[in-house]
Structure 1
Amino acid sequence: MKGEMPQLGGSAMGDVVLDDTCLFAHRNGEQIRFTRSERALLLVLSRNPHRLMQRSQLLDAIAPTQADASDRNVDFLVNRLRTKLGDNARSPRFIATQYGEGYVWIATKLPPVVPRPDPAPISRLLAIAPVVPSHDKRLADRASAVTTHMRAMIAGRLGAGETVTLLGRDDEAATQASRYVLKVSFQDNGERLDCTATLREGPSRRIIRAFRLEFGSAAMAGLVPEVERASIGIIEALQRNLAEASEGLGTPEDQPYEIRQRKASSLLSASNPNWLEKGLQLRDARTQDPGSADIALQWCLHLFARLVLTNPFIGIGRDERDEIESEIEATVLDCLPLIHTNPLLMLTAAKLLYFIDRGHLELAEDLAGRAFDRMADSAAALPVLGQLRQARGDFAAAVAFFDRGLDMADPDSAFELHMRVLKNIALLAAGDREALQVPAEFSYESPHSPPDLSVMVTALITPAGQQLPKSVTDVLIAAGHEGVRNAIEYTYMTSVRQLTSLQARANIMQGLIGHLTKLHGKTVVTPFVRIGTGLLAA
């Protein structure tokens, strides 16, 4: 049932806010209620965190609520609690099993999360803002002449594709839509005109360069050479900072930043097969340079590619998946102190921490937000930001990010396909079937996607009551019971488990499960997928 978040005390644990009385909990506005026995068990577990609770102790806690309670009742109640909390016995976040002994409450309280506002689209490269005392009109006129000439110099050297705007005194709000802001302050000291220029990143406010302009004469003719010298320095600082924002992941350093940004978008795309092919090369590189965070994160992208680009009908064993994800987690966490000044690597870390779904959502949001502040409107950041908003249940914001990515994508590129798939999954999660009208001319059959993955995306997007294309149905039938069972698990692990809302998970999986159970029966849906989506009766 839906309800407003109560104004009572509570403890945030992962994506669940647990009422202090354990009478109910909330996840993304959805209320979870507990029976008397569940509440009694939840109270004793949550009030004894990280302590082994023997079955006999738990039995004592529920005995007043059940006259004939037994060890089997304890196990049954624990399974019910796991289902309601969205927990998983194999990868627990709340209740861990100590086999032969009892259970341990492993969830920890989280500090309140202050959501970051969605960044506004960037509409210009540079905004130049003169800063002059309001009472000095003569100085304001000279400042306008200086900054106008500076703008013309910078715009002429950067090229027609980059927007350089001169702001007025009251245009402070307009700086938020600028990738960089150059504030030029003026002060008239009689015989000398003091002038300082400060170049900052727009969203992050980080100072890139600050320097004085040395004017030997107050006449305009004397200002021009110094303005031109300063403009060249500003252009060099801009180009250097743009290049630094796209460093890493093996991008060539001698290419223009526009090309490097496009490559960064492709390198972070879920469908990029290059990471699979570079496995041996990256393994050797890590041996030769074990301290390189860049190479370590490239290795993690190779591991990530092994998980997402595997044939979904063959799948990957849970133990192998857990081992790979544990290596990704450990490697990324080790790299964090080394990448705090590199936005592309921070974005890579955010993507990987989000994907493995091990309680690092808040950390991933912080990394992605700070990376975006440095990268401004780079397309590479948009899919990660959209997925993080989607994980929190803000589907409108997620779709907005994906739409921005589609606007920036090259036609028929791997990045465009990636963004389109992500957008459709977000619409599915939101339950917005009306908006999910795939254009007739668009096909998920693409040279950028393995054929089996294209089949799975088509089956995922097509409503359960709508007939699949015959070519897709033929593949699904040929895959057999075990193949489609693997494919359902693959879809859940790669695209669904990261969402905090049980209903959103169910919305994504309903169509796919409907198609595949119709072909192969209900037993193709494994228990952990049923529990993780709430589709227990599917």
Structure 2
Amino acid sequence: MDDDIRFGGLIFDKSFLFARRASGEELKFTRAERAMLLLLTGNVRKIVTRNRLLDAITGAGSDSADRNVDFVINRLRAKLGDSARNPSFIATQYGEGYVWIAEPSEGPNEALLLIGPVFGLERTASGEPARAFLLRLRDIIDAQTADNQIVVLELNGQAASSKSLFSLEVSFYDDGKCMHCAAVLRKVATGQILQTFRLMLDAAGLPASEPDIESVVAGLKSAMWRQATTGQGILAGPTDQPLELQMHDTARLFDRSDESWATMSEQLSEARRSQPGDPQTELMWAMHLYARILQNPADLDLRAAHEEDIERCVFDHLAVFQGNPIFLLGAAKLLLFTGRGHLALAEQLAEQAFLSSTAFASAFSSLGQIRMCKGDIRSAVDLYDRGIELSVPDSEFRVYLMVLKCAALMAEGDRSRLDKAVAALYALKPVTRLQIGLFVAPPGPLAPDLTLVVGQFDAARAKHAILHLHYVFARLFVREDHRENIMRGVIGHLTERFGADVVPDEVRRSVPRLV
């Protein structure tokens, strides 16, 4: 209807009594939930205080549970399929309230996969086995994709009416003995064929022989994953993002939790089994190891083993990446990350990728990090600004570049410009204040919301936070004063609360004057 309001993959009626997903699933909201939705969605990207939310949900007809703002928020998130850690709709602003971060959209969201058009059903004696198979196929694929990704089934033989990233064209033929099924997976934008399969169905709509439906889904998912991750081949546009972000975005297409890298591990492990020694797969595996280290830098043995594997992978396949700028930039990023004396080579590779391709934004990102770590902060910030200008507004790539710019300004000790950069980052993505606010806060009293964040720490978590910031950023800087500027704030805040023992030994060796 014209009065419907669309946010992401959900369509709300004007009163916010109901919402429906593209799959047809309908959601119904309580009075308190409706009041909260009306207030939040009427203030997109603005902080709504807890007191305003409490005023909205209390009153006649409310029960004790409805008078608990956090309880209603959690109930809403559960219905919306939202995550507190990685929100698509409601972000928490600790100490202040909540923010509705989803932007309204005017048209239907693009589906991940359109199953259709479907041909041949009208020529079969009974189309029930075919329909049962298609419904089962849609449900299994949908169960293995993220909540905000849509899988659409169109049973007619007309031209597809839904917009989608991929399409699966299906044909059926009944020879009187069994139902034959043939399907072609395509990338919609180019028409490129990515995968085909053929099978026979029994009367219940189940494959009568190999492959079974689970194998079909695994093959389709693998083909979509590889295309979404490396589909541009050796060509890269000025606004294309780096390999690690492409991989992360692709993983989030197929994951229903916050741990999208677990999905990437599963896909890469299967790809390595089916194509052993494939250079692109091996570099993506190295990127996956890089992400695993970032999740747990405290495991020193695992860290050393993964760093060695990353280094070996890059050098084993470096010659193959010479003609692919995105993979060449990925190799440069990994060599920088290992911290094993490859800074000059990493810069050479990034310069080569920039000069020989149109991958401007990705090159600006990689070159900026290398220049930053070498100590050329002015050049790094200029490169980040150029990348930000090329990046898509509201994209994770832009957020990523803005975080890197903040790191560069923090290393330089330029508090005035850092405060402006941080404010711009928080305005773009409010949840980042909770994620990095403690790290970029200056020494001295913390803001109330960051005080609440630290209040949730114990000594072990404080130690991990210090180690994480040092490993991800500070250790890579050549200059000790830059490392000190990165670490000064967080060490000061956390040692004040927990004592000097929360500073790990490797951090003490890196910035001895701070401890």
Query: With structure 1 as the length reference, what TM-score do the two structures score?
Result: 0.48
Structure 1 pair 365–330 and aligned structure 2 pair: CA distance change class (3 A) = same
Q: Distance in 2 between matches of 1:501 and 1:406?
A: 26
The alpha carbon displacement at 1:316 in A equals 3.6
Q: Indicate if the aligned counterparts of 2:243 and 2:330 stay in contact, CA closer than 8 A.
A: no
Deviations 1:55-99 (A, max 9, x none): xxxxxxxxxxxxxxxxxxxxxxxxxxxxxxxxxxxxxxxxxxxxx
Partner of 1:407: 389
- State how far apart, in whole Å, the 2-side matches of 1:507 and 1:342 are: 36
1:271–1:418 Cα contact (<8 Å) kept? no
Q: 1:460 aligns with which of 428, 431, 439?
A: 439
8 Å Cα contact 1:395-1:427 kept in structure 2: yes
Contact 2:335/2:343 (CA < 8 Å) preserved in 1?
A: yes
- C-alpha displacement of 1:388: 0.5
Following superposition of structure 1 onto structure 2, how do residues 44-443 of structure 1 map, counting pairs within 5 Å? Answer: 250-253=229-232, 258=237, 261-262=240-241, 266-267=245-246, 274-308=260-294, 310=295, 316-376=298-358, 378-438=360-420, 442=424
Contact 2:239/2:361, CA 8 A, preserved across alignment: no
Alpha-carbon distance in structure 1 between the residues aligned to 2:249 and 2:443: 26
Which stretch shifts more, 494-503 or 368-377?
368-377
Q: TM-score if structure 2 supplies the norm length?
A: 0.50
Give unpaired runs (5+ residues) of structure 1: 1-246
2:408 is paired with a residue whose SS is helix
Whole-Å separation in 1 of the counterparts to 2:251 and 2:300: 23
Are the structure 2 counterparts of residues 269 and 446 from structure 1 closer, same or farther at C-alpha, using a change threshold of 3 Å?
A: farther
Look up the SS of the partner of 1:261 in the other structure.
coil
Distance 2:403 2:422 in 1: 15
CA shift, 1:513, in A, is: 0.9
Change (3 A) 1:305 1:443: same
In the TM superposition, residue 464 of structure 1 has moved relative to its aligned partner by 0.9
The letter of the residue matching 1:410 is: V
Identity of aligned residues (%): 33
**What one-letter code is carried by the residue in structure 1 that aligns with 2:455?**
I
Deviation track 1:169-215 (CA, whole Å, cap 9, x = no partner) reads xxxxxxxxxxxxxxxxxxxxxxxxxxxxxxxxxxxxxxxxxxxxxxx
Counterpart position of 2:501: 523
Name the amino acid aligned to 2:317: C
Unaligned runs of 5+ in 2: 1-225, 253-259
- For residues 438 and 228 of structure 2, the distance between their equivalents in structure 1, rounded to whole angstroms, comes to 33
Cα drift, residue 258 of structure 1: 4.7
Q: CA RMSD in A?
A: 3.1
In the other structure, the counterpart of 2:458 is: 480
**Which structure has the bigger radius of gyration?**
1
Matched, 1:502 2:484: no
**Structure 1's 396 and 441: CA in aligned 2 closer, same or farther, altered over 3 A?**
closer
CA contact (8 A) 1:430 1:507 kept: yes
Paired residues of 1:278 and 1:302 also in contact (CA < 8 A):
yes
Partner Cα distance (2:353, 2:227) in 1: 13
Q: How big is the shift at 1:469?
A: 3.8
Deviations 1:308-352 (A, max 9, x none): 2x2xxx754111111111111111111112212222111110001
Contact 1:387 / 1:398 at 8 angstroms: preserved in 2? yes
Give the aligned partner of residue 533 of structure 1: 511
1:269/1:418 contact within 8 Å kept: no
CA contact (8 A) 2:443 2:492 kept: yes
Distance 1:455 1:251 in 2: 32
Secondary structure of 1:484 counterpart: helix
